[in-house]
Structure 1
Amino acid sequence: MSNTRWRMFGLLLLLVTVNYVDRGSLSVALPMIKEDFHISAELTGLLLSAFFWAYAVMQIPAGWLIDRFGPRKLIMVACFGWGGATAMSGLAPNIGIMAFARGAIGIAEAPIMPAGGKLNAAFLTEKERGRGATILDAGAPLGSAVGGIAITGLIAFTGSWRWAFLAAGVVTMILGIWAWRAIRDTPDEHPKVNPAELEYLTRSHAEESARHRSTGQRAGLVHYLKFRSFWAMCLGWLGFNGVFYGLLTWGPLFLSERKGFDLNTIGWSTFVIFGSGFVGEIIGGQLADRLKEKGYNTNLVMRSLLGFAGVCVVLGLVGVVLMPGPVAAIALLSVVLFFLRWVGLFWSVPAILGGREDAGVLGGAMNLAGNVSGFVTPMAVGFIVGATGGYTWALLYFVGAGIIMTVAVLALDYAQRLAPKTGQPATTTPGVAV
């Protein structure tokens, strides 16, 4: 049996990694950009949030387009769009054009994660989706880690943050061509899926559909709004991103202004912190699938792993507040990212709740909720830092986001399909409605 599905998810890991290199490049170069444009902490927060406003607004439209036209087309268009916008941000003559370019990156990147969720449903079996979800989502901490080294290295090599942004944009557009050649919407369309792999996936998907009595038709987003698990999925991702995007956007500046790190030290510290997140995410996905393969109940596995991870995240962030030394801060933030990224398992949830038919739009809805934190958090932290002159209350803001995440991951039912079933009206699904 060929393993085309796993090679394709390896490419998705690379795409998401580059995605986060590009979106995190602003944070890494922020000390230099602030000096060039002479902007305050409050305006810095607004600039950091420009990406997330546009990214969040486009999530549900992107998810709908993916369900309608397939992920392959949307991924290629996204790569060309965000690569071009990243290059444009390197040419920005003022803060207004920079904010516009960041918003354009957000619009273009919007389809990537929902498309990955759709491919998770189409190419993987139920017992493989935990690994698939975390391989996909692990690009976020890996890109954040590699981005710190890559962008600081490019800045040092070229002597300018502008050339670094231009180079990153060109690489992204090249990857768009590769993605078009290597990705297909379904296994039967992929020329490198051999008969044994196709038969394995077709049989597994047929058994899954029969078990869940799937209608094989899209229900649309409105159908899911009445279910507790839908809102738990959204709130869990909102809390998760409140922590992750807070550290991604303000972490480098925190290390520079409060710990006295220079540009090179910021790059390596970012690599250690977010690299820990990458390792944690891969381990979390493997652990979840292994436990499910051994016969443990899906809800027991997911709630135990993600609940434990949430507690570790909250305690680690409290530790950063109580132990302000630079070495302790790096160590504790590494622990926070290691366990936080276990919640990348959430990218298997759209397929669990909506099946192959609605995974795209549910992934878009989940990512919309998460990116509410994306645009609120940078602004909120900017105003907190500007008003208090320190980062203590900003860190406590992250603690609150971690608590929301932990409650939500425990409330979600990971075993109940919410899609309409054959022979049963959509309004009578038992046990999970709000």
Structure 2
Amino acid sequence: MSDSTITPPSNAQKPTNFRWVIFATMFFLLAVNLMDRITLSIGMPYIKEEFNLSPTTQGLILSSFFWSYALLQVPGGWLLDRFGPRKVITGALFGWGFFQAIIGLASGGLSLILSRIGLGVMEAPVSPSGAKLSSTWLTQSERGRGAVIMDSGSPLGVALGGIIVAHLIVMFDSWRVTFVVVGLFTMLLGFLAWKVLRDRPSEHPSVDQKEVEYIAAGNVVSATGNDDTAPTKGLGISWFTMIAIMVGRASWGMVYWGLLTWGPSYLAQAQGLDLASIGNSTFLIFIMGTLGCLFSGFFVDFLVKRGITHNVALKTLLSISGVVGLAALYALATITNPTIAVGLLAVAAFFMMFGSLYWSFPAILAPKDRVGLVGGLMNMANSCAGILVPILVGVILQATGSYESVLVYFAVCAGFYTVGTLCINFNKLPVKNGQLSFQK
């Protein structure tokens, strides 16, 4: 069965488009998610002085978020499949806002680590929830846009979050008050999530019947056309494809989290930029990442609407993403001009953020009752990269004394990201009872 574009009848009122409000909301929540996540990094210069933290302790505190975040990805995906995104996201917002706020009450390194572990627990199901919503709210030909609209909130949250948090610390003259304010703001967003989000279009009062029918008509439910309610056996996709997804996502995460955690240090130490220039450069790099993220989603949906299969469209764009990212990162290893270096990082960010399309994979490949689980496994791989890459980069720097080997390592990761993507079989579409049908 091929993807098709559903056109509403011309003689009838057009269906509502509330599904895009859902994904605009997720975009905003993911931006806040990343802003909350980097708040500690922004405040660390003040925190380390107050608590007299060693560099090793600082590293443990910064990485502790990912310990629980990675561990809870699969249980978080199961919760999404069991209770639905609306309840899980609302609870997560209240929970992560609480743990963010109590960081402002910390008394030392141990309490900071415990708070960050709690933050990781509560943020774990947020990203997989977007894949779950995509499976119920979007047609097959809209899922690329849905994935990147949601995930583009991440680089934008990084770009804007640092500026906002830094100004709040200056305004309040206190990192503690800043954490409490940011945490309370996040908790208030729990009420927004409960009001706006629903697990299915038919449950939302702002969605008319035409939009419900439009979404249903644009989805493939089974090989026979029956929406079987029997539970799916296993993952509903092959383990080879699942492993390929995890390898590709983990390799992409090595580059993303590597640039996020070590990018400012690279700009300062290897390129000699001052603090203001680092802030401006980081903003430019991650804004370009946001634009690349959005471009890839809209373009892949454009290709699908023109009759190109997901297999061809996704592999083509993601292969370009990996190859250009590899080339840009490898070239950076020999660049000494700061302007050229920032330009190459911006190019790498633009193309590497095509990787946000990965969030369309669970909805495209997995049965609806396994989307959360598949998304959780995928994000667990990404989160493990977030744990490992700061440590690996530190080891490489200590062994070599330069960023040249680090950038070559990032380029190799971009290559593995490309290979992992090419091993995924997008032609297989899931049906119930663990069976798979082939897209023609």
Question: What is the TM-score when the length of structure 2 is the normalising length?
Answer: 0.90
Mapping for residues 349-364 of structure 1, pairs under 5 Å = 349-364=361-376
Stretch of structure 1 that moved more, 151-160 or 129-138: 151-160
Mapping for residues 32-431 of structure 1, pairs under 5 Å = 32-205=46-219, 207-210=220-223, 215-219=228-232, 221=234, 224=237, 226-420=238-432, 426=435, 429=436
Residue number in structure 1 paired with 2:5:
none
Distance 1:430 1:7 in 2: 32
Change (3 A) 1:31 1:262: farther
Match of 2:208, as an amino acid? N
Distance 1:349 1:284 in 2: 14
Change (3 A) 1:305 1:173: same
Stretch of structure 1 that moved more, 404-413 or 162-171: 162-171
Match of 1:23, as an amino acid? R
1:23 Cα offset (Å) = 0.6
- What percentage of residue pairs aligned between the two structures are identical? 40
Change (3 A) 1:84 1:336: same
CA contact (8 A) 1:21 1:143 kept: yes
CA contact (8 A) 2:257 2:386 kept: yes
Distance 2:92 2:279 in 1: 27
Q: CA RMSD in A?
A: 2.3
Stretch of structure 1 that moved more, 154-163 or 56-65: 154-163
CA contact (8 A) 1:41 1:382 kept: no
For the residue of structure 2 that corresponds to 1:209, the secondary structure is coil
1:148 Cα offset (Å) = 2.0
CA contact (8 A) 2:141 2:218 kept: no
1:35 Cα offset (Å) = 4.3
Matched residues, number = 425
Distance 2:351 2:304 in 1: 19
Match of 2:424, as an amino acid? L
Change (3 A) 1:323 1:241: same
The Cα offsets for residues 243-294 of structure 1, whole Å up to 9 and x where unpaired, read as 1111112223333444444444333222111111101100000000001101
Distance 1:213 1:401 in 2: 42
Question: What is the TM-score when the length of structure 1 is the normalising length?
Answer: 0.91
Residue number in structure 2 paired with 1:3:
17
Change (3 A) 1:250 1:161: farther
Match of 1:414, as an amino acid? F
Consecutive unaligned residues of structure 1, counting only runs of 5 or more, are: none
CA contact (8 A) 1:42 1:386 kept: no
CA contact (8 A) 1:134 1:345 kept: yes
1:388 Cα offset (Å) = 4.2
Change (3 A) 1:155 1:390: farther
1:108 Cα offset (Å) = 0.5
1:398 Cα offset (Å) = 1.9
CA contact (8 A) 1:30 1:253 kept: no
